[in-house]
Each structure stands twice: as C-alpha cells, then as structure tokens.
Chains A and B, each alone.
Chain A
C-alpha cells in the first residue's frame, strides 16, 4: 500500500534548504511554547501527577535499547515539567521491565502499569512480543498507547477494528516504508546523476523473521516499477561468518544494487570485509547495522560507502544535533540519541494532545482518552526525529517522502552513508535534511 497524503506544490527543491529549516525551527520552538502557553493559561486541574507507563526491556537481550527509551522518556518528562507538565500537573514516568521476554511478560508489565500505577497512557518503543500483547492490554483499559513496533501488522489491526484500537498509535512508519523508500531513493540518485546503474538487477539478502521479510518483500514487489528485476533472493540465518556461497552467486551474476535486510551487525560487517576483496559494481544498502559503531569497528575502511536508513532517526539539523548534544551530555558519549529521541518526541506529542484535550484521562475513562486520541490525530509535532503526524485511519506516523511530498508533514525516512570509518554516517537523503551528497563507493568503477 503506497499513498501520498498531500501534494504540496509550494515546497519544491527550488526553495532553499536553509529557509525551509529556518521555518521548521520556528515551528519546532512553537510546540513546547504552545504547550507552555496552555499550561500557563490553565488552572491546574489538580496537583496529582500524570502517570505515563512504559513497559520496556531493561534487562536481557534488548536491554540496551530499552535503557535508551527510559532515558528519552525521563528527559522528556523533565523538560515538560519545567514548562508546567500537562495543564499544571507534573508528569511521572513509571517503568515495568519486560526482561526481553514475550507476550506473557509484556501483558503483566502493561497491566501492572495500568492497574497498579494508574497510568494514563503507555509509551514504549518495542518489546520481544508479537505485537498484540501491549496494545490489547491498553485497548481493554481504554487508554492511549504509543509504540514504535515499525509494523504493517499495526496498520492492519487498526484498520480491521478501529472501535477497539482507537487509542493505539504507532509513532513511526511501518517497516514496508524501508523497502519502498530504498527504491525511491535510488531513483532520485539516478535522476540527479549521482548513481549510474550497471544493469537492471537487484540482489536481496534477507534475514529471518517477518520484520526483515516485509522489507525484502517491499523491495521485491516494487522493483519492476523502478525498472529492476530481482537477480537473487537469499534468506540468511544468523550468525553468518562465511559469506562465500552468497558472494559466489553475486559475483557470477553481478547486480547493480545489493539490498541486505538481514540486520545482524556482525554478519553485515563480515559481509563487507569479504565483499571488498573482490567487489562487484553494486550500490550496497544495509538495514540498521551500519548505524552502529560496532559495524565500523569490525569492517573498518571496508565500511566506507555503505548506505543505511532509518524511518525514525535523529536528524543532523539544528533540532536534532541540539537534542543529541543534550542527550549525550546527560547520558554519556556512548549513549544512543537515535533510540532515546523516538520516545522523547512521542512523549511531547502525547503531552501536547492531552493538554489540548483538557487533560489526560484515567484508565478505563475512555471518554476523555478518546478526546486525547482525536487531538493526537490532529496535531503535528516537530522534534529531533522530524515531524510526527499520524494517518487518521491507521494511526501510524506519516512518512516523508514516501507518503507525503511535504517535508514538514511527514517523518523523514533518512538515508545515511558512511563516508569516514571513524565517524557516524552522514545523512545524504532526503532533501532538505541531507547534510552531505551521496559519494560513489570506491569499489564501484569510477568511484572515489
């Protein structure tokens, strides 16, 4: 399902990036200021704190991400409380550790936050659950739940049963955007003369699980529309230390693009080390892994030239860099602002919507919580990950440029490229958030 929510003729590449970002800067300031204004004008409903619950993995396999989510929410709560919280009521965030476990643990954690802590809303990123556990517990309690599962399943569920899931919001676009966005980005590179395809073939190296599978399927299904055919579709099960058999196939039939949706960072880095010994003229895109320092540590100079993307990541603009600096100052140089920023901005969105609705609702008070949900659908929140705006039907974040032509109305799907093995990648797409131009990798003939 590919759609555009707007067709904005006013914003064109002709308009300067600086003037556009300057405008956005004003907008971004307006959001917290607007909230502060609402808080100032309001007579505090009461002094009871507004409880936000976060069921997240603080121990176990995915604890690293969970801790960043906790950091982001705590930072947001502190900044919001400095501006009066929500209509004068301070925000308190309560966490329940889901221990990197499945649905049973997520249900218990969510139920604890609702019944024991009296949470008015649930905000989290993701857990190792099937996507039904947290949202059903929240839907049963009639409260708002905001998550970043990055899942088409969320869209399907909300579309199938909007009466049940009116309060469930996915504050990032679904995973299929990764695949669709990759093809669009390559087309843009070709149109601007930055990439010249060697042939019309794309090789897809998929990973296990539905998340990577959906992305791979989106690339496969959209390839023909962009004039490509799929020359290889291989599913690799981690850990993969020997890429020899896959590389043999790639070298026997070299593709113009290699899209790796298999996202285990060690495996991806090993791929680059083995690929560069005898490379093909292929643009290489990898999911997630190259955004981590570990990728560059393992692959070293072989990592330079790799493209990767995120449908919800910290921008390298004024707001994003300011956030990242504050975040790192607070949580250390090794912290990850990209993960923290997601929940941070979701908290601002919820607080603004709750204030506009006249205050948050309590658990099982779906009348007031429905008002908050309506306001969430009505507002745009600009923050470190760009604009957060929701589709009214699926209640997922609108993606730019995949679902809107207007960069001020969608969350940018940002493509980055590693251009120096010692530094994080630079955003090379989309306009106006790109800070560097795409560089042809050294392994492609004519590259640098």
Chain B
C-alpha cells in the first residue's frame, strides 16, 4: 500500500473515532461518564505523544509526565499569578513545555538507550521533589503560607474554560467538546507525522541509526525534534487537564502515573498508530473495574502488563491488525503478502 493511501486510511479512521466521540453525549449525558471520557482524551494524547517519541523515534524518555506538569502548572500559574485568560494560558503553557523539552532534550540526547531513561526520570523526580518540599511563602507573612508552586496541595480555584456560568448544569459538555477538539487536532497531527517523511526518518533512526546516518538522517536533530513535538502535545494535554479540573498538583506526575501511561502504551502496542488509544481505553476500563479494591488497582495494572508482554509482545494493536489481516485473507487470499503494518 502506498504511503499516501495509508495516511488517508488512518485519517479516515481518525475521523470516524472523532465523529463517534462527538455523538457520544447524545447517548449519555451522565457527568461522571463524560468526565471519564474527557480523562480518556487527555491520557490518550499523552500516550500517543509518548508513543511518537518512544515507539517511533526510539527515545525512551521517562520525563513525559513532567511535560504534562509543565502544561498544568503553566496554566495554573499563568491564570493565578499573571491573570492570563485560560485561552492564552493554555498555549503559553504548551510553549513552556516545549522550552523545557528543548533544554532537557539537548542535555539528554547526547546519551542513548537506558541512560536517557535514567536521566529523564531523575530530572522529573527532582522537580517533583522540589514541588513537594516547597514551603516558601508567597505572601511572606510566615503564617498563612501559600507556596509559589502550591507545595503538596497544588494550585486550585483558578478560572477554567468558563462554561459554568454559560451552560450551568451542562458545563461539562463545553469542556467535553473543547477537549475533544484538541484531541482530534492532536491525533490528526500525530497520524500525519507518523505516516509522513518525518515519521519515516524517526523510524529509520530507531531501527538502524548507522544506516539512517549514512543516508543523511541526523540522529540528534531528528530525535530532538521528536522530543519537542512530543512535549508540545503532552504540554497541551497538561494545560487541558488543569483547565478542566481547575487544579495543578504534584499528583499529576508522580511515579504511579508514569507507570499508568506506560501501561497504556505497552498494552496498546508501542510503535503502532492506534495502539496507545486502545491501551488507554483498556487501562481506564480496568482501573474503573478495580476502583473500590484499594491497591488492587496497581496489581491489576501490573497483571495487564505481564499478560501483554508474555502473550502479546507487540500489544493489542498488533493482535487486532493480525486478526483483520487474517479475515481479509479469508475473503481475498491473494492480497496477504502485500499488506504492511502501520
């Protein structure tokens, strides 16, 4: 299948997914349910962005949730301390994530493999610890302290998307469609990147850095680009998260959330196009089922990871892809050899 044809097919799938979600509130307007779907959009953006970086570019960074935090804290601080309107704060926070990614990327991409993972994790954990131990007093009185970063409790109570006074009881629909719009833009952008020349260059470096370099693909330049593009989408997700919950706190990027998103990516299938989306949906459903069983949630996540790694090493996306290929083979057996994954 030609690359442009494949791109068109994936864009068509993307449109079908977005259309389905656009119609969903007509089937159920339950606020909790829509709230969970909004969370799905946000985590799916994070998982797909991470997949672009780790799955397609071969850069196993563990700082992805730090970029979520950059977006979230950027919005929280922008609105709270600088009085920015939310529609300005979100792009500003997204750019903040890009700048942070550029700095971290320049430092980390001198390394490769597991060293990148260790260094990015260390940077994320240092920032997390700094926020947790922040006991500074913004007002300087030493009594009613409000830490600049919000400390352990975070920053809250700032203006959200502003739909509550307009839509009143249905405010969540406003949030839903705004975040769906961002989700749609991100998945189309990621599909275009993955199935365009840029994605090809990313995968060339991932699969054989020596050969890619000999063909003029600069590893550092392209991996830095992947790092920054991924951080842009992830920062946007963080900004949306903060605007929806009107909150930014250290719980956003604690290590359990890193594992949570990693599980989405691995279960769905790293290096695939729609795997992270499938993984996000599955992990969120599993988490919902496990709610009420305390720490069983983490056990369930662990079990899902083990089962996937053993039985489906390429994730659910590959299983679904193979199943469709087999089904097509039954109908049109002659086309089997021409199908290419992705």
- Residues of chain A whose beta carbon lies under 8 Å from any beta carbon of chain B: 58-59, 95-97, 101-105, 107-108, 111-112, 114-116, 128-130, 132-133, 140-141, 206, 208-210, 213-214, 216-217, 220, 233, 235, 237, 364
Q: Is the CB of A216 within 8 A of B143?
A: yes
* Complex contacts, A102 vs chain B, CB 8 Å: 153-154, 156, 247, 249-251
Cα(A197)–Cα(B231), bound, Å: 62
Instruction: Tell me, rounded to whole Å, the shortest Cβ–Cβ distance linking A208 to chain B.
Output: 5
Tell me the complex Cα distance, A425–B165, Å.
51
**6 extra A-B contacts, CB within 8 A, seeds A105-B251, A364-B169:** A96-B292, A102-B247, A103-B247, A111-B32, A115-B31, A213-B142
With A101-B251, A103-B245, A132-B156 as given contacts, are A108 and B35 in contact (CB-CB < 8 Å)?
Answer: yes
User: A204: nearest residue on chain B (CB-CB)?
Assistant: B143
Asked if A97 and B143 sit within 8 Å, CB to CB, the answer is no
Whether a CB of chain A sits under 8 angstroms from the CB of B135 is: yes
Q: What are 7 of the A-B contact pairs (CB < 8 Å)?
A: A97-B292, A101-B249, A104-B241, A128-B152, A208-B135, A217-B144, A233-B142
Proximity string of chain B (134-160) to chain A, C-beta cutoff 8 Å, 1 when within and 0 when not: 010000001111100001111111000
Residue of A nearest to B33 (CB): A115
* Also in contact, A213 and B295, with CB within 8 A (given A104-B251, A133-B247): no
Q: What are the interface flags for B278-311 relative to A under an 8 Å C-beta threshold, 1 for contact and 0 otherwise?
A: 0000000000000110110000000000000000
A119 to B112 alpha-carbon distance, docked (Å): 52
Report if B108 contacts A (CB, 8 A). Answer: no
Complex alpha-carbon distance, A364 and B168, angstroms:
12
How far does the Cβ of B102 sit from chain A's closest Cβ, in whole Å? 28
Asked whether A95 lies within 8 Å of B292 as measured between CB atoms, the reply is yes
Selected contact of B144 from candidates A108, A130, A213, A237, CB within 8 Å: A213
Cα separation A390 to B159 with both chains bound (whole Å): 30
Interface string of B185-205 (1 = CB under 8 A from A): 000000000000000000000
A128 to B30, CA, bound (A): 26
Tell me the complex Cα distance, A112–B142, Å: 38
Note all chain A residues with C-beta closer than 8 A to B179: none
**Which residues of the partner chain B approach A104 to less than 8 Å between Cβ atoms?**
241, 245, 247, 249, 251-252
The answer to whether B145 and A133 have CB atoms under 8 Å apart is no
Q: Is the Cβ of A58 less than 8 Å from the Cβ of B144?
A: no
A51 smallest CB distance to B (angstroms): 14
B73 vs chain A, min Cβ distance (A): 13
Give A285 Cβ to nearest chain B Cβ, in Å.
18
Question: Which A residues are CB-close (under 8 A) to B33?
Answer: 115
Which 5 residue pairs spanning A and B have beta carbons closest together? A115-B32, A102-B249, A103-B247, A213-B143, A130-B156
| A364 and chain B: residue at smallest CB distance | B169
Give the distance to chain A from B69, nearest Cβ to Cβ, in Å: 12
Chain A hits for B164, CB < 8 A: 140
Q: Which residues of B contact A (CB under 8 A)?
A: 30-33, 35, 39, 135, 142-146, 151-157, 164, 169, 171, 241, 245-247, 249-252, 291-292, 294-295
In this complex, what residue of A is CB-closest to B157?
A132
- Chain B residues with CB under 8 Å of A208's CB are 135, 145, 151
Residues of B within 8 Å of A216, CB to CB, are 143
Q: Output the residue of A104, A108, A111, A130 with the most chain B CB within 10 A.
A: A104
Nearest-CB residue, chain A, relative to B250: A102
| B245–A128 touching, CB < 8 Å | no
Residue of A nearest to B135 (CB): A208
- A140 near B169 with CB under 8 A, answer yes
Partner of A114, one of B32, B143, B249: B32
Contact A213 B157 (CB under 8 A): no
Least distance between A171 CB and chain B CB atoms (Å): 22
For the complex, what is the distance from the CA of A421 to the CA of B35, rounded to whole Å?
51
CB distance from B185 to the nearest CB of A (A): 23
How many Å lie between the Cα of A130 and that of B250 in the bound state?
13
Q: When A97-B292, A115-B31, A237-B135 are in contact, do A210 and B249 touch as well, CB less than 8 Å?
A: no
For the complex, what is the distance from the CA of A216 to the CA of B39, rounded to whole Å?
Answer: 40
**Complex CA distance for A183 and B142, rounded to whole angstroms:** 21
Chain A residues, CB < 8 A from B171: 140
Nearest CB in chain B: distance from A161 CB, A: 12
The CA of A111 and the CA of B146, in the complex, are separated in Å by 27
Q: Which of B144, B151, B153, B294 contacts A59 (CB 8 A)?
A: B294
Contact B153 A129 (CB under 8 A): yes
- A237 CA / B151 CA spacing, docked (Å): 13
B144, A214: Cβ atoms closer than 8 Å: yes
B-chain residues with CB within 8 Å of residue A59 when the two chains form the complex: 294-295
Contact partner, A235, options B35, B142, B246, B295, Cβ 8 Å:
B142
Q: How far is the CA of A107 from the CA of B247 in the complex (A)?
A: 10
Alpha-carbon separation in the docked complex, A108 to B35 (Å): 8
Q: Nearest A residue to B254 by beta-carbon distance? A: A101
Which A residues lie within 8 Å of B241 (CB)?
Answer: 104
Expressed in whole angstroms, the minimum distance between the Cβ of B97 and any Cβ of chain A is 18
Q: Are A209 and B145 in contact (CB under 8 A)?
A: yes
A233 to chain B, nearest CB (A): 7
Closest B residue to A209 using CB positions: B145
Question: Which residues from chain A contact B157 at a C-beta distance below 8 Å?
Answer: 130, 132
Q: Which residues of A contact B154 (CB under 8 A)?
A: 102-103, 130
Whether the Cβ atoms of B32 and A103 lie closer than 8 Å is no
**A97-B294, A115-B31, A237-B135 given; A103·B156 CB < 8 A:** yes
Which of B145, B155, B252, B295 sits near A210, CB closer than 8 Å? B145
B168's closest neighbor in chain A, by CB? Answer: A140
Which A residues touch B250, using CB under 8 A? 102
State in angstroms the CA–CA spacing of A436 and B80 once bound together: 50
Residues of A within 8 A of B292 (CB): 95-97
Q: Which residues of A contact B246 (CB under 8 A)?
A: 103, 132
Contact B32 A116 (CB under 8 A): yes
Please determine whether A111 and B249 come into contact, CB atoms closer than 8 angstroms. Answer: no
